[in-house]
Chain A
Amino acid sequence: MNKRRVLRFILLTGVLFPSVLAPVAFGLSDAYKGNIYEVGTLKSVDSVLRVKVGDRAPDFTLPSISGQKVSLSQFLEKKNVVLSFVPAAWTPVCSDQWPGYNIAKDIFNQYDAILLGITVDNIPTLFAWTNQMGQVWFPVLSDFWPHGAVAKRYGVLRSDGISERALFVIDKTGILRYIDVHDINKRPALEDLMGALEKLK
């Protein structure tokens, strides 16, 4: 019986070993050189949503890196809106998410959608970080003060003060049509977001 247990242990170890030790891959760009802070693997989700598909999206007004304030309500009846919360500037996965959206402007336009990028970092940090990506075409908003208030209202503020990696699609009438609170360690596939926008047509 003991031998059997030992054999089972070896078997399990062999199967689990590669998957446990294999690090989370994120494909970091060399553009950031040594300026990315390694955060390791985090708890995939650490908050509880406070909105659901079908709800009216809570309005907010936040400062942007361009110096202007941006409100969700200013897009009512004009544009579909994608809110992209990313956890923090200068971290691995986040640094390789928005640059992809940056070359997908045509696709967002095709769906008559505006993208609003949001983090809980302050404006100077966001300014420096997004400059490293090249100029981004979409508004980048700071949910720094009161700290993470918008993230908290949507239910994507984690217990350590950063936000989830979350996508919200809001239609022109202000209704939430898609929510993806993604595993913080992984980048959401672009086609999933675009599939959600396709459904608004």
Chain B
Amino acid sequence: MRRILTVLTMITLLFSIIVFPALAANKPPEKGEALPVINLPVPRNAEERNYLGLSGGGLFKIPQIKAHGVIVELFSMYCPFCQKDAPGVNELYRLIENSAVLKNKIKLIGIGVGNSPYEVEVFKKTYDVPFPLFPDKDFVIHKVCGEVRTPYYMVVKINEDGTHQIVHSQLGNYLGAEPFLEVVLKTLGLK
């Protein structure tokens, strides 16, 4: 009995040490840092899967996306600024996709913090969002991202050896597709 309790205690302590920091960060991930642990479902939609260069099912991590850099937008269907920025972010996607040079180098995803799949779908449909959006219904990703306000933009550079680094992050202040793309290209070393 004593041995069982000791083992249970050890497991519990380990759980607290390992899991708690993943549950709630006290600040958002910023430039110079690696991303926190973010698991996303591989899209069922083949077009989105191809866009991200993923195959199969299950979960994936952002650095597994086949690209030189990934722009991540933490948004919410309920956030007025995210709604206001949506057409401009769509334009950013089109600028990238219409460029033969950038098309396969930069990818764009959105994560709807606190949004259910239904709510993400409402946002996607309302603004005709052409890039993959993922729900974060239970705020799991929002918590590891320090419960940052929305919209929050991160540019993640993915290195050839599989490592990655956030090279740019900003809270709101989206000044339009072209100025933002300039920042993305500069911080990814593509310009």
Contact surface of A with B, Cβ cutoff 8 Å: 3-4, 7-8, 10-11, 14-15, 17-18, 21-23, 25-31, 96-97, 99-100, 102-104, 106-107, 132-134, 187, 189-191, 194
Contact = CB atoms under 8 A, between A and B. Distances in A.
Given A96-B79, A134-B80, A134-B83, A29 B150 contact: yes
Contact of A103 (B20, B113, B126, B152): B126
Q: How large is the interface on B (under 10, 10 to 19, 20 to 34, 35 or more residues)?
A: 35 or more
A29 B139 contact: no
Interface stretch (B46-54, B65-73, B117-125): B117-125
A14 B78 contact: no
Interface of B: 1-2, 5-6, 8-9, 12-13, 15-16, 19-20, 23-24, 76-84, 113-116, 118-119, 122-123, 126, 137, 139, 142-143, 147, 149-152, 171-172
Contacts of A104: 122, 126
Contacts of B79: 27, 29-31, 96, 99
Given A100-B77, A191-B119, A22 B83 contact: no
Contacts of B137: 189
Nearest to A104: B122
A18 B84 contact: no
Nearest to A103: B126
Contact of B12 (A14, A103, A106): A14
Nearest to B16: A14
Contacts of A191: 116, 118-119
B12 A11 contact: yes
Contacts of A134: 80, 83-84
Given A31-B81, A100-B78, A103-B122, A18 B19 contact: yes
A189 B119 contact: yes
Given A29-B79, A97-B78, A134-B84, A15 B12 contact: yes
Given A29-B82, A191-B118, A96 B76 contact: yes
B119 A29 contact: no
Contacts of A25: 113-114, 139, 142-143, 147
A23 to B, nearest CB: 7
Given A27-B114, A27-B139, A134-B83, A10 B78 contact: no
Contacts of A133: 80
Contacts of B172: 30-31
Contacts of B15: 14-15
Given A104-B126, A132-B80, A190-B116, 12 more contacts: A3-B2, A4-B2, A10-B13, A11-B8, A11-B12, A14-B9, A14-B12, A25-B143, A27-B139, A31-B172, A96-B76, A102-B83
A172 B24 CA distance: 45
Contact of B23 (A11, A14, A22, A194): A22
A100 B9 CA distance: 44
Interface hub of A21, A103, A191, A194 (most chain B Cβ within 10 A):
A103
Given A11-B8, A187-B78, A191-B118, A99 B150 contact: no
A17 B16 contact: yes
A10 B9 contact: yes
